[in-house]
Amino acid sequence: MRLGPTERDRLLIFGTAELARARRARGLRLNVPEATALIADTVCEAARDGLRLAEAIAAGRAALAPDDVLPGVADVLTEIQVEAVFEDGSRLAVLPFPLRSPDFPLHSPDFPLHSPDPTADGVAAGSPEGARHTAPGAVLPAGPEEATDAAYAPRAAALSLPVRNTAAVPVSVTSHFHFFEANPRLEFDRAAAYGMRLAVPAGSSVCFDPGGTHTVGLVPLGGDRTAIGFAGLVDGPLDAPGARTEALRRAAACGYLGAAGSDAHREEGEA
C-alpha cells in the first residue's frame, strides 16, 4: 500500500495518540507530543464521525484536562492546529489553549491570546503572565537587545481590511497564508489583499466567527514573493506580469466573495 504525506502524517498522529491513551490508562501523565497527538486525533475522528468543525473542536478541547498532563505542559501547549477531513472537505481546526476548560473565557484580560513580552514593564515574576514564559519548554529571548532587534520586531500593518464570514462555521486563517486565497466564504476586497498576509506573529491565526465582521491588518508577503499551493489561484510569482489579473479572474470564476468586479474599476482608473 502506497501512502502519501497526508496519510503518513495521519498514521503518525494516530500511533502517538494510541500510545498516549495506553500510558494514560496506566495512570501516567502525558508530555507535550502525547497530549498534542491525542487531542489532534480526537478532532480528526470527530470529523470522520460526521461532526461539524465547531463540534470537533469542542471534542478536542474536552479530550484532556490539565491534571492529565505533566506539570508545565498546559502552559507550553498554547495552540494545536490540525487539518481534518469533514463531510464537506478538509478544514483546519485551530484549538487555542486546548488544555483549558472549554468554558474558559479565552478573551478575558486574565488570559490573553498572545502572552505579553516578559521584558515589558508590569509583568511580575510571580504573575500568571510571567509563569507562562518560565514554563518548561517556553522560548525566552536572550536579552532586551535581541528582543527589540528590528529583525524580530512585529511588522506594522500596511493595510486594514474588514472581513465578513458568510459561512455557517468558524473560519481560521493562519499567519502566512496568502490572504487573497483565504476561504471563498470570507467576504472582503480580494484585490486589495493580493500578495498580503495577516499582520500577526508567525504560527498564530485569526478566527472569523460565523456571520461576524472583523477588521484585520495585512502586510505584504516577503521573500521571493512566490505563492505555491494555497488555493491554487496564483501558483507562481506574485508580481509576474498579469499574475494579479489572472488570479482575480480565477477567484471570481470559483465564486470567491469579494473578487468579482473588485479590481476592474481600479485597473481602469490606473490605465
pLDDT of residue 140: 58
Give the mean pLDDT of 46-66. 93
**Positive/negative CA dihedral, 94, 83, 253, 251:** positive
- Stretch among 42-46, 122-126, 161-165, 249-253 having the lowest mean pLDDT: 122-126
Q: What is the pLDDT, as a whole number, of residue 229?
A: 85
pLDDT confidence band for 124 (50 / 70 / 90)? very low
List of E strands, the chain: 79-86, 89-96, 159-165, 171-174, 186-187, 196-198, 205-208, 213-220, 226-227, 236-237
Q: Inform me whether the pLDDT recorded for 90 exceeds 60.
A: yes
Share of the chain above pLDDT 70, in %: 76
The single residue listed with the C-alpha cell 493562519 is: 174
Unique residue bearing C-alpha cell 508545565? 72
- CB distance 183 to 161 below 8 Å: no
What pLDDT does 5 receive?
82
Per-residue pLDDT band at 154 (split at 50, 70, 90):
low
CA distance 208 to 168: 11
pTM above 0.85, yes or no: no
Rounded Cα–Cα distance for residues 246 and 244 (Å): 5
